[in-house]
Structure 1
Amino acid sequence: MTPGSPADRPSRVNGAALRRTGLLVAGAAFVLWAVASLTFFAIRLIPGDPAQAILGGPGSQASQEALDQVRRDYGLDQPLLVQYLAMLGRLVTGDLGTSYALKLPVADLLGAQLGGTLLLATLALALAWLLALGLAIWSTGRGRVASALGEGIEITSAALPHFWLAAVLIAVFSTGLGWLPPVATGTPSGLVLPVVTLAVPLAGFLAQVMRESLLDTMQQPFVVSARARGESALGVRLRHTIRHAALPAISLSGWALGWLLSGAVVVETIFAMPGLGRTLLQAVTLRDIPVVTGVVLLVALVYVLMTVLTDVVSRIADPRLRQEGAR
């Protein structure tokens, strides 16, 4: 069997897949370590004593003896490097610690809040994709006016701050029209405004990427051939160009989900929604270090997994990427 023969191709593909898997695992481990390290040192720059946070905050009027005992129990009397290494050791074993404020295991606390935030982010990502795809298809191939109008909508949407958009939506659809509740109610109607608040700015950004990719794809030879065979402009978009034009946006979906999770801090606070965003904000305020570390690590893990998933989807949608990975 000569090198490069068809019989040797499966081994080369398997070797490339193993190398890529190894790189992904190593990259994920590095990202989680970096996030944990940055969070550990950043949270300690916040003014205040973690021992007081454990005992109920500055208003608890804890005695010096109680503070010293808490520092010994939680290892806060140790040098910072020792505390850092101890934290890494616990994380390696899957132990996220216990919340200072709530006295509950961090893993249980995050598990109870994760579902709501993931639902909010997933719905917002799906809506953003639909809005972006619709706007990109509508604004391309319809002349300069439609292109300029679409570009203006994209730029404006991408620049909207979450807190401002949330305030406008509440004023219009809750206070003014009375169609939707101003806060989360645990019902589908209570999710509408938070989902729209998260989705619209992201849709503006994704639409810019999709429109540019769609314009480039429409100049490709296979599109010209399809038009020469008599297919309509809409048919060419639906059958041929959308899949190729969506590839850059698919690649950005991992980043988009991470961006949505960070935006959930603002949205969940404004709409009084239970979730990781509000939990993180409260933990930072209370200097609840284990909860802050746990939330940030969980968001980073979701981001890494979503990035891997988008990579797989991109390779399925674009055979050229699979061929490059097999070399």
Structure 2
Amino acid sequence: MTTDRAPVGVPFRFARWLLVRSAGALFVLWAVATLTFFAIRLIPGDPAEAILGGPGSQASDEALAAVRAEYGLDQPLAVQYLAALGRLATGDLGTSYSLRTSVSTLLAEQLPGTMLLAALSLSVAWMLALALATWSTRGGRVPAAVGAGLEVVAAALPHFWIAIVLILVFSTGLGWFPPISTAGPAGLVLPVVTLALPLAGFLGSIMRESLLDALEAPFALSARARGESELGVRLVHALRHAALPAIGLSGWAFGFLISGAVVVETIFARPGLGRTLLTAVTARDIPLVIGVVLVVAAAYIVLTVLTDAASRLADPRLRAA
């Protein structure tokens, strides 16, 4: 009986897990769209003026009334909200007020640049965090103190300050990299380092504590008793367990990088979702703001599911559960 039911139970549990995840994703997207819709309305100004070019356009009252009627801005706020949800439910993100272009087209153009920037920054942050955690736990008070200090300082540094210092040193002073993001690989170096440093400090602190615990765990003591070298214990056994908390936080790290991209893409004049979002908020471009936020939220959900799967692959205890 047990062997007959086991294969049936696994697909059922997976289907239930997938259903719960899907329902949670839909709820998050609805909440994000709702909060964004009402938050952008709290910004002072008339959306009709934004459609006609902003307050400086000096649009007539007749033109403003025509625009409000065309876009449904003369309807009650609740009616506008339901209409916006209806369009989003069909996959229609609308047309940008300020750029007069489909929001889907704009997002398709800006998304790859930001995803590349976030992926490279996350990879660099992981490498720096692993290197710092491994070096600071090799023994001795000096490496531990220096490693802890570097982690705290790096995690506390704001992105705009890092960007300014990097531009002054490596662009203005040494001339190694361009001050603005260009199409080549050299234009990615300073933006990637700017985003990666604070995240590396945070991940490094978590990895260092987990690595210290793993090195004193029973499986590490057993490996040493079998004659395995200290380097082998670290690389084969301890580092995998030390990386588990950081893997679980990679979804949060992605959101951290996207929020930082708003500052970094603006400073380095790099096209992307962050810079597009800042411009859209300034122009009260409601469809574009909602579109950018929804895409970021969807990417965050997908990455969270992937990190959950990666944690299960790396931790046998989660696979057994």
Normalising by structure 2, we get a TM-score of: 0.99
- Give CA deviations for 1:177-206 in whole Å, capped at 9, x if unaligned: 111111111110010000000000000000
Are the equivalent residues in 2 in contact too, given 1:106–1:294 (CA < 8 A)?
yes
How far apart are the structure 2 equivalents of 1:96 and 1:191? 30
Between 196-205 and 231-240, report the one with greater CA deviation: 231-240
Alignment-derived partner of residue 29 in structure 1: 26
Secondary structure of the corresponding residue to residue 150 of structure 2: helix
How far apart are the structure 2 equivalents of 1:319 and 1:19? 21
How far apart are the structure 1 equivalents of 2:140 and 2:21? 43
- Give CA deviations for 1:59-80 in whole Å, capped at 9, x if unaligned: 1111101100100110000110
Alignment-derived partner of residue 216 in structure 2: 219
- Give CA deviations for 1:63-120 in whole Å, capped at 9, x if unaligned: 1011001001100001101001111101010000000011000000010000100000
Are the equivalent residues in 2 in contact too, given 1:258–1:302 (CA < 8 A)?
no
How far apart are the structure 1 equivalents of 2:10 and 2:220? 31
- Give CA deviations for 1:193-222 in whole Å, capped at 9, x if unaligned: 000000000000000111111111111111
**What are the within-5 Å matches in structure 2 for residues 95-106 of structure 1?**
95-106=92-103
Q: CA deviation at 1:128?
A: 0.2
**What are the within-5 Å matches in structure 2 for residues 303-314 of structure 1?**
303-314=300-311
Alignment-derived partner of residue 300 in structure 1: 297
Query: Which residue identity does 1:50 align to in structure 2?
Result: P
Alignment-derived partner of residue 133 in structure 2: 136
Q: CA deviation at 1:7?
A: 2.7
Alignment-derived partner of residue 145 in structure 2: 148
- State whether structure 2 residue 36 is matched by structure 1 residue 50: no
How far apart are the structure 2 equivalents of 1:135 and 1:299? 30
Quote the sequence identity (%): 69
How far apart are the structure 1 equivalents of 2:113 and 2:37? 26
Q: CA deviation at 1:16?
A: 1.3
Candidates 11, 14, 18, aligned match of 1:14:
11
Alignment-derived partner of residue 201 in structure 1: 198
Alignment-derived partner of residue 246 in structure 2: 249
- State whether structure 2 residue 73 is matched by structure 1 residue 76: yes
Q: CA deviation at 1:251?
A: 0.5
- RMSD in angstroms over aligned alpha carbons? 0.8
Q: CA deviation at 1:10?
A: 1.6
Query: Which residue identity does 2:147 align to in structure 1?
Result: G
Secondary structure of the corresponding residue to residue 269 of structure 2: coil
Q: CA deviation at 1:158?
A: 0.3
How far apart are the structure 2 equivalents of 1:17 and 1:10? 11
Q: CA deviation at 1:141?
A: 3.3
How far apart are the structure 2 equivalents of 1:322 and 1:31? 26
Secondary structure of the corresponding residue to residue 274 of structure 1: coil
Alignment-derived partner of residue 183 in structure 1: 180
Q: CA deviation at 1:229?
A: 1.6
Query: Which residue identity does 1:14 align to in structure 2?
Result: P
How far apart are the structure 1 equivalents of 2:319 and 2:12? 13
- State whether structure 2 residue 58 is matched by structure 1 residue 94: no
Q: CA deviation at 1:6?
A: 2.6
Query: Which residue identity does 2:6 align to in structure 1?
Result: R
- Structure 1 gaps, min length 5: none
Query: Which residue identity does 1:176 align to in structure 2?
Result: G
Secondary structure of the corresponding residue to residue 246 of structure 1: helix
Query: Which residue identity does 1:62 align to in structure 2?
Result: A
How far apart are the structure 1 equivalents of 2:112 and 2:165? 27
Q: CA deviation at 1:228?
A: 1.2
How far apart are the structure 2 equivalents of 1:33 and 1:87? 11
